[in-house]
Homo-oligomer: A and B are copies of this chain.
């Protein structure tokens, strides 16, 4: 460290998204200490000395969800407005995590409480969020919505084996629109490398059993799935 240079504290904050009950949810923790004690906040914490940013994000993710692998994690954006933290100059590197439906947050969390909140309530402003976390959540939501269009990221919301209907439910939950099941099926199975059949099938209640798929090798969708559907 060069002593005469201005220094700041660096944190990571996580926008962890999942699909529960066919709706998008975001993981929030209730703050136990000041500032913003009692308010809800994104899980996160300070980057340790000589710790890489993605290592810090993975560490916080494991601490909060109890799950270390199988969760998509990508850097979202960095926020450093002077007044964003009353404790001083704190720069936070925000990350976006997409997870399949997990259990309730791990009891080992260091926060007073942690729970999944429906995204529509959070986006509507029904939940009081600490710091500038409302803006971070909004940015994370927009990133997720955009990336579903031109990448195979939707599979990150699904377990290792999933049906086309499950994948479609991801798009419907994140975009908030209804998608024609038949055209979606044709599009998904017709895009090389998007999904691969495992050979198995699964019956969920009534109806013909659905074939199971796993994620394919392709990350970019050509041509993309457009958001302007009926």
Contacts and interface: CB of A to CB of B under 8 A. Distances in A.
Interface string A142-180: 000000011000000000000000000000000000000
B228 A226 contact: no
Interface residues of A, number: 35
Contact of A222 (B46, B47, B226): B226
A51 B81 CA distance: 7
A88 B223 CA distance: 45
Most buried by B among A1, A7, A9, A50: A7
A106 interface: no
Contacts of A89: 1, 49-50
Interface string A198-230: 000000000000000000000000111010100
A85 to B, nearest CB: 9
Nearest to A5: B9
Contacts of A188: none
Interface string A56-91: 000000000000000000010111111000011101
A78 to B, nearest CB: 4
Contacts of A223: 226
Given A6-B46, A93-B80, A222-B226, A88 B1 contact: yes
23 contacts: A1-B7, A2-B87, A5-B9, A6-B9, A6-B46, A6-B48, A6-B49, A7-B8, A8-B8, A47-B80, A47-B91, A50-B82, A50-B89, A52-B82, A53-B79, A53-B91, A80-B93, A150-B150, A150-B224, A222-B226, A222-B228, A223-B226, A224-B224
Interface of A: 1-2, 5-10, 46-53, 75, 77-82, 87-89, 91, 93, 149-150, 222-224, 226, 228
